[in-house]
Amino acid sequence: MRIVVGEGSCGIAAGAAKVYSALEAQVGTSAELTVTGCIGMCFLEPIVDIYDGKTLLKRLVKIQPSDADKIIDFVNGNADAVADIEISDDDKAFLDKQTRIALRHCGIINPEKIDEYTAEDGYQALKKVLTTMTPEEVIEEIKVSGLAGRGGAGFPTWFKWNAARQSQGDYKYLICNADEGDPGAFMDRAVIESDPHNLIEGMLIGAYAIGAKEAVVYVRAEYPLAIERLTNAIAQAEEKGYLGDNILGTSFSCKMRIKAGAGAFVCGEETALIESLQGERGMPRLKPPFPAQSGYWYKPSNINNVETFANVSWIMLNGGAAFSTMGTESSKGTKVFALTGKIKKGGLVEIPMGKTLRDVIFDIGGGIKNDAEFKAVQMGGPSGGCIPAHLLDTVIDYKALGATGAIMGSGGMVVMDESTCMVSMAQFFLDFTAKESCGKCIHCRIGTKRMLEILNRIVKGEGKEGDIELLEELCYSIKDGALCGLGQTAPNPVLTTIKYFRNEYEAHINEKKCPAKACVDLLTYSIDADKCKGCTLCAKKCPVNAISGTVKNPHSIDADKCIKCGACHNNCRFGAVVVD
């Protein structure tokens, strides 16, 4: 038997490495102990799987080091030993309801061993491409598949590959954008950590198609485990002859290296990424010329996102037509989402395009934490927007999501409940884009700052009439005046929250109230004398002695002293503290 511990970054953060050590100390010769990447059920981490050959016998969840005894007991023949730590049928459905292509090996194979990848048809697509297809045929197959850029913009992949192929030049580059900067998104990290060879294979096929001799992966510096596993995978692929000169005995040669980013959101924009690769400040270039004509070191270059490449080997093995049977008219294949926020079952979800937001959030994600009311889902990070409850049946498709004012984005899906203030959400994103603006374009650099100042005022209760209109005016001028995607989309979080939650802005500005009761400056705390039992707990917990009263008599809060920390409200057992 084989005991497999899920060691993605999330799993390790949840304690998987400690579980592994505990198992290692006890396992002896009773089973083989190994690791895998991220299966994507983050809400159940740490996860341990027990296999017999290729058959999954048990999936054990929320494992603590102290559970090692039970696991060892099970592999030694006690069939009931792990009954209380086994995954429930309801949680199993989280995976069963998905269609996995980009993530097909994640959480199943050991990402540190190339043999496990090749045992799953790994590098067979590369072999097929190099020995039986011309570069033009590869591009045609991608065209048939309908694969579009998974980084967010959804530009047809074949078109970019073809442009780079057609471009004149003696030396071309293929670049993978793994600078996953959207706060709230971790799809690409999971692919690199869990299935690095799939990325390498997809990139090699892309390099063959465009005629590139060199490939570079630009990875976020905040992903040390991804960098470590990819470095290891590249070395293994070189050793086995999948990378380097005369790959698989053909005339195709390609080398690959990693460049660790240094932390700048704007480097997710392809021309800024190229500047960064050249050791410069990551400031976008004017397009045209497009990277396909003049990119890295001003040579023809093609840049795709990790998830885009992760689909390529599957398409080459199964055919573009099979890929295009999934999805909608305008969006083909599957999409991976990182489902997080106020959600019961957070994790990685890969589904065919055409499913609805409701399918993902309620059917797969199990609905809202603590059965609270769904308020909105944020898609596309700082470039995207908030989609409200009445649009939950929107289908997942580039066009349909774009029509809501949000975007498909790279896959961040942050769920919010009634306790999330939408004005403060807009403020949060503007704070982010104002900090991350590279400063090249005046509208973006100064406009986002002015918008942030207005939002800061509104959440403090200092909003003025006309603020909403002023925000909108700034939004449109930034969209018009910014050179790159970061600036052009920076106003989206504000525009969508004004569009769908204008009443919240108005309540902040006109009534100086926060309907979600999240903006501290707009709250008042008081004690309901009818409910207060005079237990004195609130007075003891108050850090500034703002609460007075005697035992068994109703207490009261001195509003002038109150710092609105919420300690009284959180500690009252009778629900007597009223927040308004």
- Is the dihedral angle over the CA atoms 551, 554, 558, 562 positive or is it negative? positive
13 binding other proteins? (CB under 8 A): yes
262 binding other proteins? (CB under 8 A): yes
Q: Which of 135, 333, 366, 381 binds other proteins (CB under 8 A)?
A: 381
Whole-number minimum distance, CB 279 to other proteins, in Å? Answer: 4
Cα separation, 249 vs 462, in Å, equals: 70
347 binding other proteins? (CB under 8 A): yes
Q: Which of 123, 186, 208, 525 binds other proteins (CB under 8 A)?
A: 186
Whole-number minimum distance, CB 429 to other proteins, in Å? Answer: 8
Q: Which of 182, 307, 397, 467 binds other proteins (CB under 8 A)?
A: 182
- Using the rule CB under 8 A, give the single segment among 56-64, 68-76, 105-113, 175-183 that binds other proteins: 175-183
Cα separation, 332 vs 408, in Å, equals: 13
259 binding other proteins? (CB under 8 A): yes
Whole-number minimum distance, CB 458 to other proteins, in Å? Answer: 17
438 binding other proteins? (CB under 8 A): yes
Write out the two tokens for 179.
Answer: 């600078």
Q: Which of 69, 136, 245, 280 binds other proteins (CB under 8 A)?
A: 280
Per-residue contact track with other proteins, 199 to 228, x per CB under 8 A? ----------------------xxxx----
DSSP 280: S
14 binding other proteins? (CB under 8 A): yes
Question: 157-166 and 196-210 are packed helices; what angle lies between their axes, rounded to 10 degrees?
Answer: 50
In the chain, DSSP finds a helix count (H) and a strand count (E) of 23, 17
- Using the rule CB under 8 A, give the single segment among 8-16, 121-129, 307-315, 321-329 that binds other proteins: 8-16
Nearest to 369 by CA among 340, 342, 338, 341: 342
Write out the two tokens for 257.
Answer: 């290296």
Cα separation, 453 vs 522, in Å, equals: 17
Q: Name the region of 67 (left: φ>0; alpha: ψ -120 to 50; beta: rest).
A: alpha
Whole-number minimum distance, CB 516 to other proteins, in Å? Answer: 11
Cα separation, 439 vs 284, in Å, equals: 10
Q: Which of 45, 195, 350, 397 binds other proteins (CB under 8 A)?
A: 45
Whole-number minimum distance, CB 158 to other proteins, in Å? Answer: 29
CB–CB of 63/14 below 8 Å?
no
Residue count at the site for other proteins (CB under 8 A)?
A: 51
Q: Which is nearer to other proteins, 81 or 306 (CB)?
A: 306
Give kind and range of the element (H or E) at residue 58: strand 55-60
Whole-number minimum distance, CB 273 to other proteins, in Å? Answer: 12
Q: Which of 388, 412, 485, 491 binds other proteins (CB under 8 A)?
A: 412
Q: Name the region of 28 (left: φ>0; alpha: ψ -120 to 50; beta: rest).
A: left
CB–CB of 195/117 below 8 Å?
yes
C-alpha distances out from residue 414 to 5, 9, 211, 368, Å? 27, 19, 39, 11
Q: Which of 93, 120, 418, 428 binds other proteins (CB under 8 A)?
A: 428
Whole-number minimum distance, CB 9 to other proteins, in Å? Answer: 6
Interacting residues toward other proteins by CB under 8 A: 9-10, 12-14, 42-43, 45, 180-186, 189, 221-224, 259-265, 276-282, 297, 338, 340-342, 346-347, 378, 381, 412, 414, 416, 420, 428, 432, 436, 438
